């Protein structure tokens, strides 16, 4: 599991909560919710530094507030995940054999449905 991203400011070890990007053509700094993954030309900022953000003279700062309804998985997401797990766990019809799979670090593949795999630990 990867560790949480940290603030991009020098000597700040706080966890990042927002991502800062620049639109040079419009002289605009955009501060929005934390991006899903680190980007090379974006800066992740903690609460402290995102609240105190300032831009060069003549630039605008556009602050995009996170949508609270998107804060976590929705009921639809959880139901889709549960359905996918149930589908993988369903036994194969009699007389068929699961396709051969690749060995995984934590176990051996015993079944496959689409892109999901069931592994057993040895």
Per domain, the residue ranges of the chain are: 18-66, 75-120
Residues 6+ away with beta carbon under 8 Å from 82: none
Q: What are 67-87's pLDDT values in tens digits?
A: 665 556 666 767 777 777 777
Q: What are 78-119's pLDDT values in tens digits?
A: 777 777 777 766 666 665 555 554 444 445 655 555 666 666
Pairwise CA distance, residues 1 & 45, whole Å: 21
């Amino acid at each position: 599991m990867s560790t949480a991203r940290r603030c991009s400011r020098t000597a700040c070890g706080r966890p990042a909560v927002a991502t800062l990007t620049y639109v040079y053509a419009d002289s605009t700094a955009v501060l929005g919710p934390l991006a899903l993954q680190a980007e090379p030309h974006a800066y992740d900022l903690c609460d402290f530094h995102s609240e105190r953000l300032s831009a060069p003279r003549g630039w605008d700062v556009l602050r995009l507030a996170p949508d609270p309804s998107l804060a976590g998985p929705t009921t639809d997401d959880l139901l889709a995940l549960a359905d996918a797990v149930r589908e993988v766990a369903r036994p194969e019809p009699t007389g068929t054999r699961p396709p051969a799979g690749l060995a995984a670090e934590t176990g051996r593949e015993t079944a496959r449905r689409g892109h999901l795999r069931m592994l057993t630990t040895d």
